[in-house]
Amino acid sequence: MRVPIIAGNWKMHKTGREAAELARQIVERIGDRRGVEVVLCPPFTALAAVAAAIEGSDVKLGAQNVHWEHEGAFTGEISPRMLLETGCAYVIVGHSERRTHFGESDQMVNWRARAALANGLNPIICVGETLEQRRAGTTVEVVTGQVRKALEGISRDEIERVVLAYEPLWAIGSGLPATPADADEVARFIRKVVSDLYDAAAGDRIRIQYGGSVKPDNIGGFMQAENIDGALVGGASLDAESFAAIVRYEP
Ligand code: 13P
């Protein structure tokens, strides 16, 4: 039985003070919701404030990126142990905005995921195809290729702590989500890659999120899909009411 995981990716929104306020409102509105793991991923500068705001709740903290080295001359980067100290349990790696705007390669995504795992952080590894790739019929090839490269060198033990997020680029911030059936089909192929690389149990247990224009009115459909175990939410996670409604989806 896979425990669904719903994460809010706040991207480059909210100062520390604003983030703490939003986190408090979310905790309050989620209330007694059980059986769903909830993760908030604010910007680096707001991690400590959000950690304090969610203390005593079941909500977990995640970062939006991590470097693969412990420390060193890497101006502007943040290491796994820096994140651990702020209370992070999760870290998003390979988000398409990082791949597109900051030139992140599959190799870098793999290094980040491995460093996260080696240091006790759980990576949420993002994959997804562009509109051109979907139109060209290469979605499965592109996405499964990204998954294979991201997982290189990750052990059988470690794969238990990996979350994969399928986020088609054309659905992100567009208001045009994938259909649950389309997302489920890609997630099924992703699950098969994990089964092939590890074993059937690993494929069966890995959690796969859908991301891209998830809203309170469409989350239910995604959560009903057999191979989807949660969501990575952008825009709708910036409003306590809508994020809490997503977390409290009716199955
Ligand atoms: P939106 O929910 O705003 O489409 O963003 C999705 C996303 O990129 C989450 O990582």
Which CATH number is 132's domain given?
A: 3.20.20.70
Mutate which of 5, 6, 9 for ligand 1 pocket (most atoms within 8 A of beta carbon): 9
Could you give the residue ranges of the DSSP H alpha helices within 102-216?
Answer: 106-118, 131-135, 139-150, 156-159, 180-197, 200-205
Is residue 22 within 8 Å of residue 73, measured between CB atoms?
no
pLDDT in tens, 4-37: 999 999 999 999 999 999 999 999 999 989 999 9
Entry pTM:
0.98
Cα distance between residue 157 and residue 5, in whole Å: 20
Query: Does the beta carbon of 234 lie inside 6 Å of ligand 1?
Result: yes
pLDDT in tens, 148-172: 999 999 999 999 999 999 999 999 9
Average confidence score pLDDT of the chain: 98
Query: Does the beta carbon of 173 lie inside 6 Å of ligand 1?
Result: yes
Q: What is the CA radius of gyration of the chain?
A: 17
Cα distance between residue 189 and residue 179, in whole Å: 16
pLDDT higher than threshold 90 for residue 1: no
* Domain span including residue 145: 5-247
Total structural domains within the chain: 1
Beta strand 5-9 with 230-233 is parallel
Mean pLDDT, rounded, for 77-103: 98
Expressed in angstroms and rounded, the spacing between residue 124 Cα and the centre of ligand 1 is 13
pLDDT in tens, 37-52: 999 999 999 999 999 9
pLDDT in tens, 210-247: 999 999 999 999 999 999 999 999 999 999 999 999 99
pLDDT higher than threshold 80 for residue 251: no
Taking each helix axis from N to C end, the angle separating 16-30 and 240-247, rounded to the nearest 10 degrees, works out to 40
Give Cβ neighbours of residue 200 (< 8 Å, ≥ 6 apart).
none
Query: Does the beta carbon of 211 lie inside 6 Å of ligand 1?
Result: yes
Residue with tokens 């796994």: 80
